[in-house]
Structure 1
């Protein structure tokens, strides 16, 4: 219908508000009719108190269990690793190992062509045989000289005695020829006696000289002894050359210096190698941990402290060990380019010091940890 009016919700709200302001008594009655709000009980407070106590206990327990523990994530596995290189040159004729193979000390790893070394050894053996033969000859000459030279002296003395007798006879003949009546002899006989006298004197002088030479028996024997000593030195020299040849021959066989694993192999059969050429690396199975702790963590850390070790590669592996030693210097001090703190502007940086940790338990003897693995040690300090 045209005269009927419509009212909006806003008009009704305004009208109700006006009615409430106009009737205070009714407002009071409405408040009395409303139910009262219940106050919160003690149960939430109790729960809150229990949670707070539990948190305090947990925090206290965590502090008590970790206050004597120093840890770092800057720690890695380490072991002895050497580069295997030959001392002989030649072609590789045998390769006895594969990549990452475990070997024992003394195992044959590589064989280099030994023919050149064998020829040198045979030549040295021949030189040694010749030197020994010459030594035996010199020793025989010495034994002969000990008999020969005294006999020669005696023979020289006998020749001297004979020459003296001949001289006496010649002198006697000469005196007879000069003392008789010239008519009873001839000038020829006198000249012959005179010549015989001079010859006897010459023979005596020669015999005396022979005696003087033959009398040097000790010097002659000493000369033979010196010859024997020289031959002995030659034998020793030849033996040394043979030892060197055998040593060079042994270098053609590369042996494992200790138990370990073959890594980084870069040699094949037929490869021409030179002395000092790197063939591969040999890693020892005896692994330790190098942990780089901050210098502020070392105050109470001492060798012998127990360590719990976790390996990132095998989270379930739990190792136990102890602190072996603390390096006498920070890592930066022994780096290739140590910091020059006395030059330019200085900014203090907390240094890290390597700590060696030896593994005591938890590692399978047949299992070795590769080098450079990340680990997390927890050191219990006293």
Structure 2
């Protein structure tokens, strides 16, 4: 081999080595063969939690602020109090109106008993009038035969006839009195539903006043840690004014994987992740659910790809990862922290988690990480 060929070979070999190294680096970066792995990772992931904003339902001046920024609170613990004098008076007014309606309903029974007595009296008077009419009719029959034979005078006959007519008028009047008493009784009975509705309306007004009075106390809806307390003593607040927020201790991870990484992604796969704020200490979890659509489908402004200048962009699908129990560092996780997630798509699937992802629970509530751990232990004992 000549010196020229040897020199060219010395130049070509390093160039080939550099080119091969570059190709290998590209294949490794894109996880292409021979560097393909079952572990799918992403740094587009964050710790999530349920941050509840607290606002009042009633208006008024704040008379007490019982908490400070970032403290732990228990469910039902007082956060702030609104001046309740107006609402106490409204409750007293509603209770007085309820007593008035109850008294009106209580007097219904007495009023109806009086109307019933009037009806009974009218019916008795009708029977008396009918008896008088019957006697007058018999007198008319007897006197008529006597007058026709000349035994009695015509004057007596006229008196008996007049008595018959008076008896008939008395019966008609007694029947009219019975009808009037019956109508009065029906009118009283027709007023009972209105009185009962008045009582129910007054009871509802009392309940509403009690709710408004109770809403002057703003309490923690769940156990958790408060955010910044923005309410101040003496501040006038209205419905919807943001006072502070409560963040429960339960957190999870949302990892946004590229669509090409989801070929073997499914619920029940084990996952590991690190958090910048915890010195990248590994934490364990499981995939519990995969979003039904890409993140772009949930954005306010939908992308329109039906254009002439189209550039394919890999979409990302959110994947929910819940933490395994028994990890001390999990208590230090805060919603919003950046996370690097790795999911082993070649690992065995936890069947309890996969089953929970396919069907809802019998009680209609969301499956929690604690439920999943319990199911996994039960299956392990059974196996």
**TM norm structure 2:** 0.71
SS where residue 232 of structure 2 aligns? coil
Q: What is aligned with 1:258? A: 222
Q: 2:187 aligns with which of 223, 228, 249?
A: 223
1:170-319 paired onto structure 2 within 5 Å: 201-202=165-166, 204-214=168-178, 220-315=184-279, 317-319=281-283
1: CA distance, partners of 2:288 / 2:330: 23
Over 3 Å counting, the alpha-carbon distance change for 1:148 and 1:334 in structure 2 is same
Q: What is aligned with 1:104? A: 74
Q: What is aligned with 1:126? A: 96
Q: What is aligned with 1:353? A: 317
1: CA distance, partners of 2:159 / 2:308: 114
2: CA distance, partners of 1:323 / 1:106: 33
1: CA distance, partners of 2:34 / 2:79: 54
Asked whether 1:74 is paired with 2:38, we answer no
**TM norm structure 1:** 0.71
Q: Is the 8 A contact 1:291 1:354 kept in 2?
A: yes
2: CA distance, partners of 1:71 / 1:282: 31
2: CA distance, partners of 1:147 / 1:365: 82
SS where residue 367 of structure 1 aligns? helix
Q: 1:117 aligns with which of 87, 103, 106?
A: 87
Over 3 Å counting, the alpha-carbon distance change for 1:339 and 1:65 in structure 2 is closer
Tell me how far 1:117 sits from its aligned partner: 1.3
Q: Which structure's CA Rg is the greater one?
A: 1
Tell me how far 1:161 sits from its aligned partner: 3.2
SS where residue 302 of structure 2 aligns? coil
Q: What is aligned with 2:59? A: 89
1: CA distance, partners of 2:219 / 2:291: 33
Q: Can you give the 5+ residue segments of structure 2 that lack an aligned partner in the other structure?
A: 1-27, 347-383
Deviation sequence 1:211-255 (CA, Å, 0-9, x none) = 243167765544333233322121111111111111221221122
2: CA distance, partners of 1:347 / 1:162: 110
Q: Is the 8 A contact 2:125 2:174 kept in 1?
A: no
Over 3 Å counting, the alpha-carbon distance change for 1:293 and 1:156 in structure 2 is same
Q: Is the 8 A contact 1:320 1:362 kept in 2?
A: no
Aligned alpha-carbon RMSD (Å): 3.5
